[in-house]
Amino acid sequence: MLVLITYDVSTSSIGGTKRLRKVSKACQNYGQRVQNSVFECVVDSTQFAALKIELTKIIDEEVDSLRFYQLGNNYRNKVDHIGVKEAMNMEDPLIF
Amino acid sequence: MKKLLNTLFVTQPDVYLSLDGDNIVLLKEQEKLGRIPLHNLESVVSFGYTGASPALMGYCADRNISIVFLTMTGRFLARVVGKSRGNVILRKRQYQIAEDEHSAAKIARNFITGKVYNNKWTIERMTRDYSLRLDVNKFKEVSNQLSTVIDEARACEDLDSLRGWEGQAAVNYNKVFNQMILQQKDDFYFHSRSRRPPLDNVNAMLSLAYTLLANDVASALESVGLDAYVGFLHRERPGRASLALDVMEELRGVYADKFVLTMINRKIVNKDDFLRKENGAVIMTDEARKKFLSAWQDRKQDKITHPYLGEKISWGLVPYAQALLLARFLRNDLDEYPPFLWK
**pLDDT at B133 > cutoff 80:** no
> What mean pLDDT is predicted for residues B202-210?
87
- Is B6 within 8 Å of chain A by CB? yes
> So what's the pLDDT on residue B239?
65
Judging contacts by C-beta atoms under 8 Å, the chain A residues touching residue B301 are 91
> So what's the pLDDT on residue A53?
92
> What mean pLDDT is predicted for residues B68-76?
77
Q: What is the pLDDT of residues A27-75, one digit of tens each?
A: 888 888 888 889 988 888 888 999 899 999 988 888 888 999 988 888 8
> So what's the pLDDT on residue B22?
87
**pLDDT at B84 > cutoff 70:** no
Cα(B261)–Cα(B182) distance, rounded to whole angstroms?
Answer: 9
Confidence class of residue B68 from pLDDT cuts 50, 70 and 90? confident
pTM above 0.80, yes or no: no
Average pLDDT, chain B: 83
Residue contacts between A and B (CB atoms, under 8 Å): 60
Q: B288: exposed, middle or buried (C-beta count within 10 Å: 0-12, 13-18, 19+)?
A: buried
State the nearest Cα–Cα gap between A72 and chain B, in angstroms: 15
Range in A42-51, B82-91, B195-204, B284-293 the model is least confident about? B82-91
**Element spanning B304, H or E:** strand B303-305
Q: What is the pLDDT of residues B163-193, one digit of tens each?
A: 888 888 888 888 888 888 888 777 777 777 7
**pLDDT at B272 > cutoff 70:** yes
Cα(B24)–Cα(B38) distance, rounded to whole angstroms?
Answer: 6
- When CB atoms are compared, the residue of A88, A90, A95 closest to B11 is A95
**pLDDT at B223 > cutoff 80:** no
Per the model's pLDDT, the better-predicted residue between B131 and B207 turns out to be B207
Find the Cα–Cα–Cα–Cα dihedral B289, B294, B298, B301, rounded to 10°.
100
**pLDDT at B85 > cutoff 70:** no
> What mean pLDDT is predicted for residues B208-217?
87
* Residue in B closest to A87 by C-alpha: B34
ipTM, interface predicted TM-score of the complex: 0.80
Structural domains of chain A sorted by starting position, each given as residue range(s) with its CATH number in brackets: 2-72 (3.30.70.240)
Confidence class of residue B130 from pLDDT cuts 50, 70 and 90? confident
Q: What is the pLDDT of residues B27-45, one digit of tens each?
A: 888 888 888 888 888 888 8
Q: Do B36 and A94 touch (CB under 8 A)?
A: yes
Q: Do B293 and A29 touch (CB under 8 A)?
A: no
Cα(A28)–Cα(B271) distance, rounded to whole angstroms?
Answer: 43
Answer for the pair A1, A65: CB distance below 8 angstroms, yes or no.
Answer: no
- Is A93 within 8 Å of chain B by CB? yes
Cα(B55)–Cα(A76) distance, rounded to whole angstroms?
Answer: 33
Q: What's B136's DSSP letter?
A: H
Cα(B116)–Cα(B95) distance, rounded to whole angstroms?
Answer: 26
Query: Minimal CA–CA distance to B296: which of B325, B269, B321?
Result: B269
Q: Do A93 and B9 touch (CB under 8 A)?
A: yes
> So what's the pLDDT on residue B86?
66
Cα(B223)–Cα(B85) distance, rounded to whole angstroms?
Answer: 7
Instruction: Work out the percent of chain B whose per-residue pLDDT is above 90.
Output: 1
**pLDDT at B240 > cutoff 80:** no
Structural domains of chain B sorted by starting position, each given as residue range(s) with its CATH number in brackets: 6-80 (3.100.10.20), 88-331 (1.20.120.920)
